[in-house]
Amino acid sequence: MTVRPRLQARVFEVLDPDDRPAPIERALNLALSALIVLNVAGVVLGSVPAVERRFGAGLHLLELFSLGVFSVEYAGRVWTAPMKSGALPGWRGRLRWIFSVMGLIDLGVLLALALPGLGGLTAFRSLRLLKLVSILKFGRYSGSLSLIGRVLRSRREELLTTVLIVFVLVLIAATALFNLERGNKGFESIPAAMWWAIVTLTTVGYGDTYPLTGAGRAVAGFVMLLGIGIVALPAGLIASGFNEELQRRKTPGTGAPDQGHAPTP
C-alpha cells in the first residue's frame, strides 16, 4: 500500500475526488458530468421522431464520442479499483468493482453505445440514463443524498415489510373486488383487478377502472382508507429515521443517544 505508482494514484484522484478536489479534478469531473447530461438529453430528445429525423446524425456522433470517453473512464476505473478504501488489492479488487452495481452500469452503458445496431434495441440504448446516478453522487447534494440513503437503509427492513404488506393487501383487495364486480370493466380477472388495487392503494387513482356495484364500492372505500395508512407508514418510518439520524449527529459521546431525555431522578 505504501509504494503506490504515481500515475495510478493521480488517475484515481481524478475519477474519485475527495471533498476538496483540485481545480483540474473538478474541471474533468464537470466535463464528464456535462457529457452524461448531454447523453441523457440525446436519449430523451432522440425518442421524438421529428428530432430523430433532423438531428439523428448529430446524435450518432455524440454516441461515438461518448463511447470513446466512457471507454477511457471505464479502463481508468478498473485500473484504479484496488485503491478504493477497503478494496482488495490487485485483480480481486478490480473484479469486485466490475461486478458491483456501478461497475455493471458502466459496462452496460459501454456495450449499449458499442452495439447500437443491436436489433433495434433502443431500450438497450437508453441504458445511458443510469449514468445519471453517478452524477448525483458528486457535487453539492452528495451530503444530503448520503443522509437520505443512510436513513432509508436504517429503515430498510420496515420499508420492505411495508411493500410486502401492500402486496398482500393488493392480492386480497383484487380478489375481493374481482368477486364483487365480476364481469365489470377492469375486473375480468384477478390480475386485472390487481391493477385497480395498486392504483387505488397508492392513491394514484387514474380512473381507468373503478367499482360500479354498491358492495364493490363499500369494499373499495375501505381499501382507500387502508391506502391512507399505507402512505402514512413509510412517512412515519422515515420521519423517525431522520429524527434518529439528526440526534446521532449531535450527541456523539452521550450514553443514551435518544430523543426523550431520560427521566431526571
C-alpha cell at 21: 478536489
Question: Of 37 and 75, which CB lies nearer to a second copy in the complex structure?
Answer: 37
Q: Is residue 95 within the footprint of a second copy (CB under 8 A)?
A: no
C-alpha cell at 61: 456522433
**179 to 218: interface string for a second copy, x by CB under 8 A:** x--------xxxx--xx--xxx-xxxxxxx-x---x--x-
Q: Is residue 119 within the footprint of a second copy (CB under 8 A)?
A: no
- Binding residues for a second copy, rule CB under 8 A, total 98
Q: Is residue 161 within the footprint of a second copy (CB under 8 A)?
A: yes
Question: Of 87 and 171, which CB lies nearer to a second copy in the complex structure?
Answer: 171
Q: Is residue 230 within the footprint of a second copy (CB under 8 A)?
A: yes
Q: In the Cβ-directed half-sphere of 19, how many Cα atoms lie within 13 Å?
A: 3
CB of 70 to a second copy, least distance (A): 18
Beta carbons of 186 and 195 less than 8 angstroms apart: yes
List CB contacts of 50: < 8 A, sequence separation 6 or more. none
Q: 259 by DSSP, 3-state: which?
A: coil
Q: Is residue 104 within the footprint of a second copy (CB under 8 A)?
A: no
**48 to 67: interface string for a second copy, x by CB under 8 A:** xx------------------
Question: Of 86 and 263, which CB lies nearer to a second copy in the complex structure?
Answer: 263
Question: Of 24 and 231, which CB lies nearer to a second copy in the complex structure?
Answer: 231
Strand spans (E) along the chain: none
CB of 205 to a second copy, least distance (A): 4
Question: Looking up cell 440504448, which residue turns up?
Answer: 125
**24 to 53: interface string for a second copy, x by CB under 8 A:** ----------------x--xxx-xxx----
Q: Tell me the window of 63-71, 74-82, 108-116, 240-248 that interacts with a second copy (CB under 8 A).
A: 240-248
Q: How far is CA 16 from the centre of its chain?
A: 20
Beta carbons of 110 and 68 less than 8 angstroms apart: no
With b meaning 16 or more CB within 10 Å and e meaning fewer, what string describes 115-133?
eeeeeeeeebbbbbebbee
Beta carbons of 178 and 211 less than 8 angstroms apart: no
C-alpha cell at 182: 365480476
Q: Is residue 151 within the footprint of a second copy (CB under 8 A)?
A: yes
Q: Is residue 172 within the footprint of a second copy (CB under 8 A)?
A: yes
